[in-house]
Structure 1
Amino acid sequence: MVFKRRDNRPWGQVVAEWVYPRGGWTRAFQYIKHRLRRLPGTPESIARGIFAGAFTVFTPFYGMHFIVAAIIAKLMRGNILAALLATFLGNPLTYIPIGLISLQTGHFLLGTQMRGNMEGNLFSKFYRAAGDLWNNFVAMFTDDVAHWDQLAAFYRDVFFPYLVGGVIPGLICGTVCYYLSVPVIRAYQKRRANKLRAKMKKLREQSGV
């Protein structure tokens, strides 16, 4: 196959490089920034895509961020590839603070509160909800009884507050990214166009045209 890797990486290495990419996160961010600047389209359409991706990382739809970002970018007439690249703002270094900010904002807006310690209780609720999901999956094929208590608690204490609370910080982050991106992308495209014109002029002079 044309796109198949020559080296088959073990799953452990794949997971390790997702947590800490080869070359470090600084190099990974530099690569994403480079790719964003070279995307085709107007600075505004690319920036709208970046807005969509940045906003999406504040939603609780883990595992579906690419899909959500693409839909939002499509609705905003933004660059979809820019939206997908911008979702990398959400990574193992940022997901915990993003989650805590979204949850605290959501509980504040809803007038509720997370029972117990926010950080420790959050992970325990994820774990217990996953346990219910697995138990209910097994119950489909066995005589086990399905349980929904932990999933209901997860929805009430985590998912819904996260969904509500992520809107405001998501809009703020997306807006900041949009207004920072437009002038940077415009300047890069202008500089690139000037270099291309200078190169074409030099080629014409050399050919005597």
Structure 2
Amino acid sequence: MQRIPGTPHRLAIGFACGASFSMTPFIGLHGVGAIVLSWALGGSWVTALIGTAIGNPWTFPLIWIVIYQTGAILVPGVAVADLSMTAVTSELVALASAAANLALVWDIDLAIDDLARLRLLPTMTVGSIPYTIVVWIASYYAIRSSVSQYQKIRRMRIRTVRQNRLARLRGGDVNP
């Protein structure tokens, strides 16, 4: 990632957007969301996509449990629900049905009915907010520092190579 063209700031914004968007429950939309957020903040869309790798099949179950439990604490009156695969599948079916009713049938009432059945997703969305903020800040500073250091070392190495070539052309001593 450090060889991707751009300033450390721009690359870090992109990565931070991708990593933080992976903390949301919107699986399937992480890439698009990260690119849009990165574009809005002036970051790199390439590093935004790389940042979404934070969320993957090994980390999603843990992320979802943590953000749901946090959402249940933050939203008054929400009882901790069943986070079984059946419950999650039911939520995804309701969400897909709402999207289909809006996009294909143009029936807002049916879409609203489908969205009213959602129990996990709203709570998970609220619960993801603190984690998206923390992950954005932490990954921004870590990546900016790493890329800045790498680019500084690379510039010094390139300068040394150029000086050595110039010295050879002039017939002088070459720096190690």
Deviation of 1:150 (Å): 7.5
TM-score (norm 1): 0.68
Distance, in Å, in 2 between the alignment partners of 1:174 and 1:181 is 11
Sequence identity of aligned pairs in percent? 25
C-alpha root-mean-square deviation of aligned residues, in Å?
2.6
Q: Could you list the per-position Cα deviations for residues 158-205 of structure 1 after superposition, in whole angstroms to 9, with x for gaps in the alignment?
A: 111111111111110111111112221111000011111111111222
Match of 1:166, SS state, is helix
Number of equivalent positions: 161
- Please state if 1:50 is matched with 2:15: yes
Distance, in Å, in 1 between the alignment partners of 2:92 and 2:46 is 31
Distance, in Å, in 2 between the alignment partners of 1:70 and 1:190 is 27
- Please state if 1:38 is matched with 2:15: no
- Name the CA shift for 1:131/1:106 in 2 (closer, same or farther; >3 Å): closer
Deviation of 1:206 (Å): 2.0
- Please state if 1:110 is matched with 2:75: yes
C-alpha contact 1:129 1:151 (8 A) present in aligned 2: no
C-alpha contact 1:125 1:150 (8 A) present in aligned 2: no
- Please name the residue that 2:28 is paired with: 63
> Partner letter of residue 92 of structure 1?
P
| Uncovered stretches (5+) of structure 1, i.e. residues with no partner | 1-35, 141-145
TM-score (norm 2): 0.80
Q: Please show how residues 28-177 of structure 1 align to structure 2 within 5 Å.
A: 36-111=1-76, 112-115=78-81, 117=82, 119-120=83-84, 123-129=85-91, 152-153=116-117, 155=118, 157-177=119-139
Deviation of 1:50 (Å): 1.3
Distance, in Å, in 1 between the alignment partners of 2:130 and 2:121 is 16
